[in-house]
Every structure is written in structure tokens, then in C-alpha cells.
Amino acid sequence: MNKFTLSKEECLLFIIDMQERLFPAMKYGKEIIEKTNILAAAAKAMNMPVIVTEHYPKGLGKTVSEIASSLENALIFEKNSFSACTDEIVAALKAKGRKKIMVVGTETHVCVFQTVRGLIGLGYEVFIVSDAVASRSKGNYRNGLDLMKSMGAVITNTETVLFDLMKESGSPEFKALSKLIK
């Protein structure tokens, strides 16, 4: 059951391409921002590293301000490849020493899918936070999730991730984070 278990000591939050000019076309954009911010707050409270990518920021802009404002200690990388498994980003992942990667971002069937394929190929355990990934169409979103599940990624959601990381009520993390999901 270890494959389905998250612990703050093993996890890293990976935010893929949630950018200014790309994001308005995403279905459920407001919810995706809300869920990503909850996960970013959890990462901060639990001292988990955060890595952010921006695909071709010259054309697509920077990370949306609603998310960027909560990423004070995140490592941010520019990329032009659809997969975020570039040499530079993979080196940063290895340096963090975390084997379980929680993935959020856009688009589910393109950059998220190709990144997850690369991460699994490198031996990482990947958790797709389904209510914090998006595509422009529901069909592409579903297809992306199906492909990643077939490759061995765990498909989950923000509340499941949060409560699994917290483990029990009464902890300092529970007191700080439970109000985010009411």
C-alpha cells in the first residue's frame, strides 16, 4: 500500500505551466487555482519543496499571479519542451531527494502527461491531483488522466492528498490547513 500513501518527508509539489495566457482557456480555472493554492499552503506548512515550470513564458506569460503570490520558496524553471523532465529540472528533483511527486497544472493531456511519463520512467511515484489539473476540453482532460493511470500514476484529489499528508486531526498542520477545505 506504500504506492498509495503520502508522507510529507517523501513528497514534492510539482506545478506545471499554470500561466497567464494559457490559463483563461482552461475548464474550471478558478477551482484549479483554489486547489493549487491549498496544496501550496500545505507544502509550505509541511516544509515540502515546490517546483514550478513555465512553458515558453515569452509567449504564454508567467505563472498566474493568484498562484505565484503563494510560492515564495519555489524553484521556478522556464522550458520549451512539453515535458518538464529537462536535464535542469531532473537535476533539481534529484537534489531534493523526494521520491513521491504530487503533480498539478496544465494541460492534462500534453505537458502534464508528458512530464508524468518522464517522471515514472525515472522511477518516481507520481500522484496526479485530478481537481488541480486542467485541459481546454473535458475529453482531453479525461484522456490525459486515463493515460497517466495506465502508466502507473495514482489519480487522487486535493482533499485526499491533504488528509493523507496530515495523518491525524489535532496536529499543527491540521489546525493550520483544515480551514482551507471547509
What is the Cα–Cα distance from 158 to 129, expressed in whole angstroms? 6
Catalytic status, residue 11: no
CA distance 114 to 81: 10
The one catalytic residue among 8, 35, 44, 79: 79
Catalytic residue among 8, 35, 111, 131: 111
CA pair distance 86, 68, nearest whole angstrom: 22
- Angstrom distance (rounded) from CA 66 to CA 34: 9
Q: Which of 8, 11, 17, 85 is catalytic?
A: 17
> Is residue 17 annotated as part of the catalytic site, yes or no?
yes
Active site residue 182: no
User: What H or E segment, with its residue span, contains residue 113?
Assistant: helix 113-121
Q: How many residues does the chain have?
A: 182
Q: How far apart are the first and last CA of the chain?
A: 28
The whole-angstrom separation of Cα 163 and Cα 149 is 21
Catalytic site positions: 17, 79, 111
